[in-house]
Structure 1
Amino acid sequence: MESGESRRGELIDAIRESIRGICGLPDCRSVFRKVGSNLTRRIKLLSPLFEELKDVNEEDEEGEGEEKGSSDRGGRGAGEEGLEGFELLKSALDDAKVLLESVTQGSKLYQAFQGDKTALKFQETTERIEDALNKIPYADLNISEEVREQIELVHAQFRRAKGRNDSLDLQLVMDLDIARKEEDPDSAMLKRLSEKLQLRTIDDLKKESLAIHELVISCGGNPGDCFEKMTSLLKKLKDCVLQESPDGNQPEVDKEPMKHRSPIIPDDFRCPISLELMRDPVIVSTGQTYERSCIQRWLDAGHKTCPKTQQTLFHTALTPNYVLKSLIALWCESNGVELPEKNRTSRGKNSGRGVSECDRAAIDALLEKLAIGNADQQRAAAGELRLLAKRNADNRVCIAEAGAIPLLVELMSSPDSRTQEHAVTGLLNLSINEGNKSAIVNAGAIPDIVRVLKTGSMEARENAAATLFSLSVIDENKVAIGAAGAIPALIRLLCEGTPRGKKDAATAIFNLSIYQGNKARAIRAGIVEPLMRLLKDVGGGMMDESLALLAILASHPEGKTSISEAEPIAILVEVMRTGSLRNRENAVAILWSLCSSDAEQLRIAKEHNAEETLRELSESGTDRAKRKAGTLLEMLQRINSSSSS
């Protein structure tokens, strides 16, 4: 490989890593959360381009020397001009990561006082990224139409952002100035500041104090005149928080001493955050148990760690601890202690409007059986949850918020096939809700769903395929599902399933193949042969799905080769002649992909009298079909002219 190509490959890898690093940063909770989130979102949208370029580079390396066309596919993109855009983008993304880290991890007060400077840095970073995107030679890159369209949209977003000046909130600037100067600022203004700066509790203020201390150390003990401003304002905010809530959201165990006759509450029954007796204990991913309302407030504040162990949470799902809840109830009954009345604001506030009291009670009872019931009870409970999740949208929200998702994920490993079916179908029904899709993936469901797809009963396999399709609506899930080995199992279902199962498998593969890397996985797993069989089976009812899938796979270099080897021309010409409008469009698109880079396929199309059908299609087909048919006719006319000469 030439040095230019080698350098471009290195830059593509480095840019991919930069994008991943930026996407992995915690959510920005500072005064720059809006501009920071917008920049992160735009950078994330660059990912498909560089993932596809990575795949193209690997294909070029594998095929180097095998065909002449592959050796010069990079064109000017491999030269110095082509490298300039990648170099500039890599540098801009590295600086963007440093900037985003500074506003997600540093002192919030320091960022507020340095607001104009930080806003200018965001503006300069956006301009540098947009300038770099201008210098990337997209015309010389071997990328699909879908990715090319997306990158044009992203580029337009950066262009628009470049023309905007995102300065700090004017009200915030005024409040900061007044709060700094006045000895006794207005409490309403201080409360407004604590909200905007995300310094609402004593815990928040302690972290801010630590961040200021670390800032002083990093500045060699000389942070400048803003140090006094920050410490003075921090004290005023602390006084305001304590005045609003005397406990400052922090437990003060001795504030209300227990009556002399009150029994001592076992430590295991107390929430580690509030130190109060738990009424609704839930388990986080580290295995620690907390009172639901307390840990939910912690998570809502943007924390990603377990408060007790400081370990990073793998996911934020809360699983009810029914065993502990039962023990607490028994202890309360034995000691004459009244269990704290359950506050309905936790789950009912968001989802209770459309969920009947009967359904809510049923959901709680079913989750208890899922958690601590025997095998028969778990199977029955999973089956009922499956039906409740299917019933209406409010149930789907309530079931997920009650903590059902991690329990259903665990049940997919059950040795009982019927339990497995209920669990995966329950997740399928829950995934209809957009918010639940991320919760299912965060609970680690994808590998378990793929395992059910490979080894479960036919019903479980088909519903697993439908679940993967539902989850793959989110772009980043396409990559994870493909990497988990789903595509070979979906192809097997495409061959063995019932008519409904085959359609579920085909739909899932189609959606996954929007990501270029999954196209290669499907082709290498041998998808073309079964698709051709289904295409030729006129009464099988799979012609629409087969043509749509072949059309998207034909845009991949390996796909063209594999489809050409299956000798598809005769059936494609027949579909172009007699098929539905949509199928004729897909058939001519496949034929165009095959013939545009292979004169032999064009000659075969001519032998099958494709010209007459193409003329008709160029007049009566869809807009896309007309364009493809017109191009193919021009190619055939060139062949005719060559023959005459």
Structure 2
Amino acid sequence: MFTIRRVCRRNRPAPVKVTVDSAVDLPIPAHFRCPISLDLMKDPVTISTGITYDRQSIETWLDAGNRTCPVTKQEIKSLELIPNHTILRIIQNWCVENQSLGVERIPTPRIPATQVEVSKILMEIEKASREGDLIQCGKLVKKMNVLGRESDRNRRCIVAIGTTSGVLSAAFESFASASEDNYAEGMEEILSMLAWMFPLDEEARSHLLSQASLHWMVWFLNCGNLAGRRNAALVVKELASSSEQQVLDSLTEIEGLIEALFKVLKEPICPMTTKASLMAVFYFVSSPTSSSKTASRFIEIGLVPLLLEMLVGSDKSVCEKALGVLDGIFGWEEGREKAYNHALTVPVLVKKILRVSDLATEFAISALWKLCSNYRGEDGGFLVETLQVGAFQKVLVVLQVGCSEKTKEKASGLLKLLNANRMSGECNDSMDFKYLKRPF
């Protein structure tokens, strides 16, 4: 690989050299350099003023809102960037001629997708889907996905066309309605594209919320490859994020969806899939419109012990989401009963206070408050156990260092409940306070 070295001179551009090794300095011809970066151009393009720049440099300039040519200061009348194939070939030949000095040939860049090209493919996808030609539809979807994988610029171009997610979702519904296993590849291509098009528009949501589409979503969660399961989890999370009663009902009424999400959490395949599944479950159990039936199904299949065990060794992001789900689950009596009977409940929740993040602390305190305020045991055993692991001191510190008003209210209520059961046997781990900043 070569590096660029600049030597400053007054009143003229700095001569740039390609340093191949410690012994050889190879000057770069001036017309090979981008006027903006002064580096060797890898993808030369010409703008309306006739000046050639490296594509990345001029795109950055234009994306910043500039509409004048950096060299001529003239107004850029067209944002079209025309590839300069002539200068590219000359640069490539120069690189080949100097290969003996360690210079690597610049590969021919792929031509970026244009909105005209993308719009044409979308129209063909829509037509093929409408006519039931799903084989052709699958080929076109794959073609568009290939464009998206080539570069972030192509993805932005695809997303910029507002109808993209709607057309792709309609195609997904057409594939799903056909119920043919050999269409799974086409649907997988669509899921992988939708995963970087969030938030989805209303048209896309309506197609994906159809019975056929959701049944196939469950299939991908259960039987898809790693990418398919991940993308299905991401799409389900996106659909559930609306928290609308009708949407949540449509999702939870699909046979096997709750069990599929639970399976993904129990048998994790990657952090992204785990986090997406946790967020989907969070929307199901924490939304104001959540039904007891949905929460009960998650509780029955073992969600509470699974999350408590997951919290023992999870990272920050997973920990926050798992605590959020538990906080939602503990709003239901069945969920609290599972927690009262699990040995990890108290030590895990108290341990996470002040240890992970402010958000995790708020969820942990809220969960403890729900458990303690609804405990009906005559011996006060759960409250005593909470005191014995140092909850009183940690919650008191949370109030002292500051928290949200909502958390402050719950923390104060929790302290009152614990104070009535304080015993001489309470203790705390001093390591829980080592990250707190001293006020002096």
TM-score interval, smaller chain: 0.5 to 0.7
2:251 aligned residue: 481
> Which residue type is aligned with residue 470 of structure 1?
E
1:506 positional shift? 0.6
> Greater share of helix residues, 1 or 2?
1
Q: Deviations over 1:40-63 (max 9, x none)?
A: xxxxxxxxxxxxxxxxxxxxxxxx
1:420 positional shift? 3.6
The answer to whether residue 315 in structure 2 is matched with residue 547 in structure 1 is: no
The answer to whether residue 273 in structure 2 is matched with residue 491 in structure 1 is: no
Cα separation, 1, equivalents of 2:177 and 2:194? 11
2:171 aligned residue: 404
Q: 1:360 aligns with which of 119, 125, 138?
A: 119
Cα separation, 2, equivalents of 1:499 and 1:463? 12
1:586 aligned residue: 363
1:637 positional shift? 2.1
Q: 1:500 aligns with which of 249, 272, 278?
A: 272
The answer to whether residue 387 in structure 2 is matched with residue 628 in structure 1 is: no
1:540 positional shift? 7.6
The answer to whether residue 262 in structure 2 is matched with residue 465 in structure 1 is: no
Cα separation, 2, equivalents of 1:538 and 1:385? 37
Pairwise mapping of residues 210-609 of structure 1 onto structure 2 (< 5 A)? 356-368=115-127, 375=135, 377-386=136-145, 387=148, 391-397=157-163, 400=166, 404-410=171-177, 413-415=180-182, 418-426=185-193, 428=195, 429=197, 432-442=200-210, 444-472=212-240, 473=242, 474-484=244-254, 485-495=256-266, 496-513=268-285, 514=287, 515-516=290-291, 517-539=293-315, 541-567=317-343, 568-598=345-375, 599-609=380-390
Cα separation, 2, equivalents of 1:458 and 1:362? 28
Cα separation, 2, equivalents of 1:372 and 1:408? 9
Cα separation, 2, equivalents of 1:430 and 1:578? 32
Per the alignment, in what secondary structure is the counterpart of residue 432 of structure 1? coil
1:621 positional shift? 2.6
1:427 positional shift? 5.1
Whether contact under 8 Å (1:409, 1:443) holds in the other structure is no
Cα separation, 2, equivalents of 1:476 and 1:569? 36
1:524 positional shift? 1.3
Inter-CA distance 399–433: structure 2 relative to 1 (3 Å threshold): closer
1:272 aligned residue: none
1:519 positional shift? 1.6
Cα separation, 2, equivalents of 1:563 and 1:384? 50
Whether contact under 8 Å (2:221, 2:229) holds in the other structure is yes
Inter-CA distance 590–479: structure 2 relative to 1 (3 Å threshold): same
> Which residue type is aligned with residue 124 of structure 2?
A
Q: Deviations over 1:384-441 (max 9, x none)?
A: 3454887444534156369535334347743365334113334554861233212432
Inter-CA distance 547–487: structure 2 relative to 1 (3 Å threshold): same
Whether contact under 8 Å (2:165, 2:204) holds in the other structure is no
2:420 aligned residue: 638
Q: Deviations over 1:17-42 (max 9, x none)?
A: xxxxxxxxxxxxxxxxxxxxxxxxxx
Inter-CA distance 431–369: structure 2 relative to 1 (3 Å threshold): farther
Cα separation, 2, equivalents of 1:430 and 1:539? 25
Cα separation, 1, equivalents of 2:351 and 2:165? 50
1:374 positional shift? 7.6
Per the alignment, in what secondary structure is the counterpart of residue 578 of structure 1? coil
Whether contact under 8 Å (1:585, 1:625) holds in the other structure is yes
Cα separation, 2, equivalents of 1:430 and 1:580? 26
Cα separation, 2, equivalents of 1:418 and 1:439? 18
Cα separation, 2, equivalents of 1:422 and 1:586? 37
> Which residue type is aligned with residue 510 of structure 1?
F
Cα separation, 1, equivalents of 2:165 and 2:325? 35
Inter-CA distance 409–631: structure 2 relative to 1 (3 Å threshold): same
What TM-score, normalized by structure 2, do the two folds share? 0.58
1:221 aligned residue: none
Cα separation, 2, equivalents of 1:641 and 1:443? 56
Inter-CA distance 461–486: structure 2 relative to 1 (3 Å threshold): same
Aligned length: 288
> Which residue type is aligned with residue 141 of structure 2?
A
What TM-score, normalized by structure 1, do the two folds share? 0.41
> Which residue type is aligned with residue 364 of structure 1?
M
Pairwise mapping of residues 35-114 of structure 1 onto structure 2 (< 5 A)? none
Inter-CA distance 412–378: structure 2 relative to 1 (3 Å threshold): farther
1:597 positional shift? 2.2
1:551 positional shift? 0.7
Inter-CA distance 490–455: structure 2 relative to 1 (3 Å threshold): same
Per the alignment, in what secondary structure is the counterpart of residue 421 of structure 2? helix
> Which residue type is aligned with residue 403 of structure 2?
G
Unaligned runs of 5+ in 1: 1-354
1:566 positional shift? 2.4
Q: Say what the alpha-carbon RMSD is for the aligned residues.
A: 3.1
> Which residue type is aligned with residue 188 of structure 2?
E
Cα separation, 2, equivalents of 1:526 and 1:448? 24
Unaligned runs of 5+ in 2: 1-113, 149-153, 426-440
Report the identity percentage: 18
1:529 positional shift? 2.1
Per the alignment, in what secondary structure is the counterpart of residue 497 of structure 1? coil
Cα separation, 2, equivalents of 1:414 and 1:430? 27
> Which residue type is aligned with residue 570 of structure 1?
P
1:574 positional shift? 1.6
> Which residue type is aligned with residue 592 of structure 1?
W
Inter-CA distance 400–389: structure 2 relative to 1 (3 Å threshold): farther
Cα separation, 2, equivalents of 1:413 and 1:462? 21
Per the alignment, in what secondary structure is the counterpart of residue 415 of structure 1? helix
Cα separation, 1, equivalents of 2:334 and 2:409? 24
